[in-house]
Chain A
Amino acid sequence: MKPAPPASPQSAGTPYPLVLDTLHGRVAPGRLVASPTGHVLASTVALPDAPAGPLTRFGLAVAEATPESAFGEGPAADRFAVALLTAHRELLDATLTHTLRHLEGRTSGSTTLLAKQLVAGQLADIALRLAEDTAVPEARRHAGRDARWRSHLRLVDIGRDLLRLLGASGFLADGPAGDLHLAEVVGNVYLHADTEDADE
């Protein structure tokens, strides 16, 4: 089997911080949406004065909400949460395509990594789980914070399994791994269903 040319580690799509900016603009034109915890996460371009932190090198800025921020609860916040999950899902979908190409470009023995049964099974499982998450009926998927948080956790699971299949290229900040890390952090800030008293 002739290997395909290796895929570049860069994810082909728009960098996640810029996707995030677009979502802010779509949900609350001219403003940035605050999380229920009072944080605003956007690209370093959208928040040039935000203090430098560990996510700056990924292109993500973190700031406190201001009176100008869109409020962290209510319909705008709900629309934003839904949009975040959709963006995460799209990112995973693009990463799945990237992973298929990447593994087709690598060989071990006389076959590509894509042709290894273990790898094939893992990829199929990932594709099925992604499809399954997409198929959760809207009413159920967006039933509330808990439902959205469950969806987020499923997407994080899928992302981790995908990145493992990218080997060390799935650990580079300038590829899908960087973007998926940001999607995880943004979910932790905007989507987390606070469990504080849930089980008392």
Chain B
Amino acid sequence: MNELREAAAPAGTDLLDERSRELADHCAAMAGRLRAIGMRLDQDPDVITEFLHEPEVRFPVQGMLPPEYRSVGEFPARLVEASSTVLGQVVATEQVSYGDPNVLLASPGPSLSGGAVQALADEQQRKRYFGRLTSSPTHTFFALTEPGKGSAATELETTLTPAPGGGWLLNGVKCYIGNGARAQLGVVFCRRAPGPWGIEAVLLDTSAPGFSGELLPSVGLRGARISRLRFQDVTVADEDVLGAQRSPSRRGLYGATYILYRFRPGIAAMAIGCAQAACDYLVTHRPTLPRRDRHRLDSVLDRIAAVRHRTYAVARDIDAGVVDVAGIGAVKARAARVAEDATRLVAELLGPACLIEHPWVEKTYRDVRAFDLMEGTTNLHAMSVFQRLLRDRAAPQPVTERAVDGAARH
């Protein structure tokens, strides 16, 4: 259903090869259905269970699974493969979010926690986690943020203490955790010892006694089903501590950082998809804008094209093993801002009462505000950009590159 969009390839896509373009087209064709489901999710995010069999819901998750856990024969293998790179995820996520970002967020599947498992888990842990995900629709969560500690994630206070008789006890509260209260499985970051290297990541089955979760009422992006989670003396077995065989500097916190860098361009892609969708919606509903208004819209479209191009570039670099932390944060922050600006402009130019008469616009206007918060606020990314600026301008040197495995690379 392509009637939602302009016919030409969106500006800023020049970095895509033929296969990525094919992937983009495949996902773009899903937009109409995703938009209809997204509207339902805004009323009741739990209705996602009615749509789990639909290809539009199932396809986007496939590329996030390791090859041996993907559905065989259901989707063109080359497209699933194409969607498994960071650039592929970005391309697919942008198009899917053009339809609606809530569906992807509300869907069962690996979420960020799957990335943590891929990065940290031993073979047994991987088998248990992904085996469970493929045996039945399983929602997962990635629990880092706490009521008292958001941006200052390294200061988290949820504790992991030795249990009398072996194993561990988990105690604490997590907040704003996507799908937390609806999930069957998740990864929880917790403190075993003081300092950044004292943070562990543990795999948690939510049926464990002492676990409880409640949904939080969010303004928008309700498909994310952000939740508050409580852990009261939850027993954690030794085999549920992710990557226990690794050195402390290579597990818990390291895992979180590594994954957030890889997933962050995906949040930018969601924002870009929504921003473009809002602008196209305006053009569809007000095809002839006065010149000054057209100029304002074009200015937003310029910014969307620029941030799309930069997002694809950082994603491509990550795939090549180069993680430009400031660059990744910058595209996420700028994409979030342009999405907010785009929806505000559209609400203004569509005219009086459009936030009542165009429910999709009102929903998108609420949804996009989440992107500024997800995976780090703009202030934090701005500071990282500033550090980079200082380094580059004060003593120009090649962009510091880090191999994806975290080791510095110059």
Contact = CB atoms under 8 A, between A and B. Distances in A.
Which one of A109, A164, A197 has the greatest number of beta carbons of chain B within 10 Å?
A164
A57 B362 CA distance: 14
B4 interface: no
Contacts of A108: 151-152, 155
Interface string A154-177: 001000100110011001111001
Interface string A171-187: 11110011001001100
Nearest to A180: B219
B353 A39 contact: yes
A53 B39 CA distance: 11
B136 interface: no
B152 A189 contact: no
Contact of B290 (A53, A167, A198): A198
Contacts of B363: 54
User: How many interface residues does chain B have, given as a range?
Assistant: 35 or more
B372 interface: yes
Nearest to B220: A171
Contact of B150 (A41, A168, A196, A198): A168
Given A106-B148, A172-B216, A189 B379 contact: no
A181 B359 contact: no
A197 B366 CA distance: 28
Contacts of A184: 355
A168 B43 contact: no
B218 A37 contact: no
Q: Main secondary structure on chain A at its contact with chain B?
A: mixed
Contacts of B150: 106, 167-168
Contact of A199 (B155, B226, B293, B377): B293
B347 A171 contact: no
A119 interface: yes
Interface in B199-221: 216-220
Nearest to B373: A168
Interface in B128-185: 145, 147-152, 155, 175-176
A200 interface: yes
A168 B226 contact: yes
Contact of A118 (B340, B354, B379): B379
10 contacts: A37-B352, A54-B363, A118-B383, A168-B175, A172-B217, A178-B219, A188-B354, A194-B352, A196-B351, A199-B291
Given A153-B348, A172-B218, A173-B218, 13 more contacts: A6-B147, A37-B352, A39-B353, A55-B362, A107-B148, A122-B379, A167-B151, A167-B377, A168-B176, A171-B219, A188-B352, A195-B290, A195-B348
* Closest A-B pairs by Cβ, 9 of them: A199-B290, A192-B352, A108-B152, A37-B353, A173-B217, A168-B176, A199-B292, A188-B355, A189-B353
